[in-house]
Homo-oligomer: A and B are copies of this chain.
């Protein structure tokens, strides 16, 4: 992530990766304040054994795109709605609209949880055990909704809301 102030948002990515039992590291790499560290980090990422990089940043968010320009690993970008952001449009467009040759896999505004799930899904496409966990995760989501459908039916929509 580009700043330690992004931790509250980015922690959801860490939480979900932990849930999926996927090894990861979480650190701060700022494109603007530590450009040399960023180049170093991105250059070494693949040989250090990383498979996917999640980069979250706000405002004129250059971190995901710059990491993607240096590494040959897939990079997932999380647009963060920072203070003084213009409703998040700045970070979304700075991450999404990458030029030909250097894609960033962009997820929704502040969607670091989805960034974690996407990283797990990528790993899961090539690792059977993780792949099964992803499939199970989806079935769980489905089951949760079905439970709520049942509950809503039983208690009635008016009572549910009054709870």
Contact = CB atoms under 8 A, between A and B. Distances in A.
Interface of A: 2-4, 7-8, 11, 14, 26-37, 39, 46, 51-52, 58-60, 62, 65-66, 68-70, 72-74, 76, 81-82, 84-90, 92-111, 113-115, 117-118, 121-122, 124-126, 131, 134-135, 137-138, 141-142, 144-146, 148-149, 152-153, 157-158, 160-161
A20 to B, nearest CB: 12
A92 B96 contact: yes
Number of copies: 8
Contacts of A153: 27
Q: Which of A3, A89, A114 has the most B CB atoms < 10 Å from its CB?
A: A114
Contacts of A33: 69, 101-102, 138, 141-142, 144-145
A96 B97 contact: no
